[in-house]
Amino acid sequence: MTKVRITKEFSFECAHSLYGYDGKCSQLHGHSYRFFVTIKGSPLVSSDSPKGGMLADFRDLKDMVNKIIVDKFDHALVLMEGTPLSSELSLAYTNVIITPFRPTTENLITHFASLISAEISSHPKFAHTELFSLKLHETSTSYVEWYAEDNK
């Protein structure tokens, strides 16, 4: 059976600080993130289905990733629990995300992978697919990649 991969690109604006880091990124700052989600599997062979010939509908992938990642992280401030003033900022602003980990790009992509994998495994529209890889650009020249095969 033929296997294919499809990728959808997303973008969002997000601020964070890397509390305890020994460089400029310990300060509050923001990024224009670019996020690529790739799933793999075999396209539906049924000609009776409106989704015949597709691995997944790009719209369904977009809706899922927007719901669990982009809508939550866009224009959010992400801080590690214990960061000074994190409680006060959470009370003052509606979109502050407190994480149990330092919000590095590496930790964020790992977190995103767990959220997306869980959603794919429980979503009937993605029953014959699996998460293949993620790529998260923090800047135009710096990014991190996550591959399912490396994390089994």
Residue 145's pLDDT is 98
**Rounded Cα–Cα distance for residues 65 and 6 (Å):** 14
Q: Which CATH superfamily is domain 4-151 in?
A: 6-pyruvoyl tetrahydropterin synthase/QueD (3.30.479.10)
- Of the pLDDT bands very low, low, confident and very high (cuts 50, 70, 90), residue 67 is very high
Asked whether residue 48 carries a pLDDT value surpassing 90, the answer given is no
**DSSP designation for 94:** S
* CB 105 within 8 Å of CB 146: no
Mean pLDDT calculated for residue range 75-100? 95
Q: What share of the chain is helix, strand, coil (3-state, %, to 5)?
A: 35, 30, 35
- The chain-wide mean pLDDT, for the chain, equals 95
Q: What percentage of the chain has pLDDT greater than the value 90?
A: 91
Q: Could you tell me the residue ranges of all domains in the chain?
A: 4-151
Mean pLDDT calculated for residue range 82-109? 96
pTM summary value: 0.95
